[in-house]
Amino acid sequence: MTCKEIAEKINAPASRVTSCLKHAKRKIAEYESYHAPGANNDAPLDFPMTAGELRLVLEGLDILKRDMESDVHRRLGTDWQGCLPYSYQIADDLTIRLLDALQKNET
């Protein structure tokens, strides 16, 4: 389907459909680049870290995520969350895993 046909089907402006498709293609490219063979981004590491160091990493991830959010929000105004880069999702997932690890360590 063309962007115009999709727009008519979902009752949205064609420019919105074009924009959404552009962001989706960018996210797919970022995902494929991150998970490309040989990138080793998915290889687990044996890296010891103290609880205090882990808290600092969490603070850094929060700052990084806020920066990504504010940058996208400034450029797009409304409906910006679907336009965040793939690295935001990785940072968000890592935040959840690190918080879980800290909670398990404290019990």
Short-list 100, 26, 106, 96, CA closest to 61: 96
pLDDT above 90 as % of the chain: 48
Predicted structure pTM score: 0.75
Query: Is a pLDDT exceeding 70 seen at residue 78?
Result: no
Residue 32, token pair as written in the block: 């494929």
**Mean pLDDT, rounded, of the chain:** 88
User: For residue range 79-89, what is the model confidence (pLDDT) as tens digits?
Assistant: 566 788 899 99
87 to 15, 27, 79, 98: CA distances (angstroms): 25, 9, 18, 16
| Contact between 95 and 65 (Cβ < 8 Å) | yes
User: For residue range 53-70, what is the model confidence (pLDDT) as tens digits?
Assistant: 999 999 999 999 999 888
Residue 50 backbone dihedrals phi, psi, to 5 degrees: -80, 165
11/88 Cα distance (integer angstroms): 30
